[in-house]
Amino acid sequence: MTAILAYHKVDDRFEFGLTNVKPKTFVRQIQRCIAEGYRIVSGIEPGGSGKSVCLTFDDGYDCFHRNVVPALEAAGGKAVVFVIADYIGKTNNWDVRLSYKPFKHMSVEQIREVAEMGYEVGSHSCTHKDLTRLTDGVLKEELIRSKKLLEDITGIEVEALSFPFGRYNMSTAEAAFEAGYRRLFGMGSSANEGVIPRIPVYRIDTPGSVLRKVELDKREILKSDFIHSFANISALLSVRESRVNRHRTPGEG
């Protein structure tokens, strides 16, 4: 079984949250997996032989282009990056501020470049709202418009969707499949409604703990699931943040 890891930021900047992994740590993590015989792949390979780990990156920060792509190119691997369509080339004022300065998302040119290099570009919705809290019409807009915007940029069909905050239900999953997505990704080890589970990686993870996650060690997975459970708080705080930013143009710091 191919383990699927979920990263967010890979950057040297400090923030108080746990989702920012230092670039040197990330390199050591993938090197440790490779040393143990794992191949770094960008998708699930049904029936494939050998050991492999699939890397996914939520939010589409420009540090994916700056730090992740060079590391994976050197390691001979690829990844999936999930982009928030309305924040392309802008800063993450949709998020709860955990650093003194906002993080920037990839530009149109950077997204097009990584797609041309063979990295899969998936959708992370238009605005990173909790999709389970939206009306049917707004949900449909988030799913369809983000897919089209990214396909217009890359010229490639967008098949994958990562649910913001890893939150979904039967209605959101059905709406996503109806919108044309073929693979839906959650967050955490348990999943239903046809959603693919992923194991999150945090700032506290070492190369050894990441290897144990790849090996589907139960204790490591339980620890990751416990940390991810606080994403529900982040989802609620993001509602307040979006209200504060309601009259801003996306990308204002």
**pLDDT per residue over 31-83, tens digit each?**
999 999 999 988 765 444 579 999 999 999 999 999 999 999 999 999 999 99
pLDDT level of residue 222 (50, 70, 90 thresholds): very high
CATH number, domain 3-244: 3.20.20.370
Say what the pTM is.
0.90
Q: Where are the domains of the chain?
A: 3-244
How long is the chain?
253
Question: Which tokens is 236 given?
Answer: 């609620």
pLDDT of residue 44: 63
Strands 195-196 and 80-83, by their bridges, are: unpaired
Q: Are strands 160-162 and 20-21 parallel, antiparallel or unpaired?
A: unpaired
Amino acid code (one letter) for 153: I
Cα dihedral angle (183, 161, 59, 27), rounded to 10 degrees? 10
Q: According to the per-residue pLDDT averaged within each range, which of 41-55, 196-210, 223-237 is highest?
A: 196-210
Rounded mean pLDDT, 182-194: 91
Closest by CA to 80, choosing from 105, 109, 104, 54, is 54
Contacts of 12 (CB under 8 A, 6+ apart): 22, 23
Check residue 54 and give its pLDDT. Answer: 95
132, 168 in Cβ contact below 8 A?
A: yes
**pLDDT for 251:** 39
| pLDDT score at 235 | 55
